[in-house]
Structure 1
């Protein structure tokens, strides 16, 4: 995931300083014969763990367990686990197995999950009722409250407007993104989905999110999405397809100023944001918040990291 925090709130959000200061050491697991330069420290339990881009099926198929790097105390110390998109492909077949594996570490009574593109592969975009039936706590367009912090969760998708050429971005997405080959629409005779379909879902999720942000809450607000809320998060690794990875929601952030926004999808580890205040040349700032990427990625791409 990418995490966007206000520095003064690190302790309040129970962020593990080891994970932030020693990124490579904050791994859940590492692959094959690759060993870290120094031992991976046991992490202090955090109240809430947010993981995106888990691709758990790919890890298990390669004989690796991304959860195995932490002891029992870590997992039992969590108030909640939020899996924020891309748990696995083929959800009707694999979600039960993948969630059962998660349940070996974290009680599914404390596990919340919402989908992204991979969770719709070989399924239908308008078939979320089935996904909800497969999960104990389905987090799509839901508020999760733990302590004095609420987590507002949704996939988000994108509006394709981040680059200023919506039609061009949608054409590029349809040509190059696997979403539009592997996901179908049940309500449209099972045709392959189109960028217009995911844009409509984005509009729905954005409307829900704005309504939730506008609802008063006596505590901290953390937004959790799969797609990004600001341009510039792809770090040049999406081959000109950034509008399929992120939208420009800086106006919404400026208006409601959530305490944090966690997101993923790009599988990159980069700083991101928009320097609204123009006062911090070292870390890009977004409505008073700074961003730091903590991407998970697929098995074999790079070591899995914790995001908090």
Structure 2
């Protein structure tokens, strides 16, 4: 299977026309555009199956849960919006969830949560609850803990073919080397330290969010990210990247 991986296109800042290729599946690992606009863009630009996992920016000006419902409503049948969901395409199992972070990766949860709440627009732009109040770090931590357990549970179910995990947030600090030195405790809002997945039956883990492009194997699992990033940002983006599994 040939997978065309894209993330962090940030179409809210600059348009992007995808490269013509013969991919079997397109994976959009979040931060494509605000709200359901990224889904509409995927509907129009791709004819093959699309795996779409929301990033934090999809939820800007939206609701933590209801925006996902609207994204699913907008999606054509070939665009699969996954949030703690799985889909099997040509024998390959895709497990998708935004992932968020549990704030443990820098070893001081309280400081990491405070750094995130002060520095990140998520806590000003995203609403939750019946009263549409601003999200708090604890809201995202709970989402992350649920996502982690959901992944572990589903990965414990045997699958005869290959398995690809798609998240927006990075599962390991090694996915963005140097981020702790650059961001300090704020790094815990970008990467998890999910060592529990090392022995799981995962062939490939695809993500976005860190704006660091790479493709490498860690403890037997292939990890990759291909973010375009913000205008004029150097991320290592490859517009026609194809990953074969």
1:300 is aligned to 2:242 = no
Distance 1:78 1:202, change over 3 A: same
Residue of structure 1 in register with 2:91 after alignment? 148
How far apart in 1 are the matches of 2:214 and 2:140? 26
1:54 is aligned to 2:9 = yes
Residue of structure 1 in register with 2:64 after alignment? 125
Offset, 1:173: 0.6
Is the CA contact (8 Å cut-off) linking 1:159 and 1:203 kept in structure 2? yes
Is the CA contact (8 Å cut-off) linking 2:102 and 2:144 kept in structure 1? yes
Residue of structure 1 in register with 2:151 after alignment? 209
SS in 2 for 1:140: coil
Any residues of structure 2 matched to 1:105-120 within 5 Å, and which?
105-107=45-47, 110-120=49-59
Residue of structure 2 in register with 1:263 after alignment? 207
2:122 to 179, 196, 199: 179
Distance 1:183 1:224, change over 3 A: same
Offset, 1:118: 0.1
Q: Deviations over 1:46-79 (max 9, x none)?
A: 3x3232212123222xxxx331xx33xx1xx333
How far apart in 2 are the matches of 1:139 and 1:292? 18
Is the CA contact (8 Å cut-off) linking 2:205 and 2:224 kept in structure 1? no
The runs of 5 or more residues in structure 2 that have no matched partner are none
Residue of structure 2 in register with 1:288 after alignment? 220
1:66 to 8, 17, 21: 17
Residue of structure 2 in register with 1:79 after alignment? 24
Is the CA contact (8 Å cut-off) linking 1:86 and 1:115 kept in structure 2? yes
How far apart in 2 are the matches of 1:104 and 1:159? 35
| TM-score between both structures, scaled by the size of structure 1 | 0.69
Q: Give the aligned length.
A: 233
Q: Deviations over 1:248-282 (max 9, x none)?
A: 1112222x14111111211013577xxxxxxxxxx
How far apart in 1 are the matches of 2:44 and 2:72? 20
Any residues of structure 2 matched to 1:203-282 within 5 Å, and which?
203-237=145-179, 238-240=182-184, 241-254=186-199, 256-270=200-214
How far apart in 2 are the matches of 1:156 and 1:270? 19
Distance 1:101 1:257, change over 3 A: closer
Runs of 4+ displaced beyond 4 Å: 290-293
Q: Which has the larger radius of gyration?
A: 1
Residue of structure 1 in register with 2:42 after alignment? 102
Aligned-residue RMSD, C-alpha: 2.3
The runs of 5 or more residues in structure 1 that have no matched partner are 1-13, 15-45, 273-284
How far apart in 2 are the matches of 1:78 and 1:270? 19
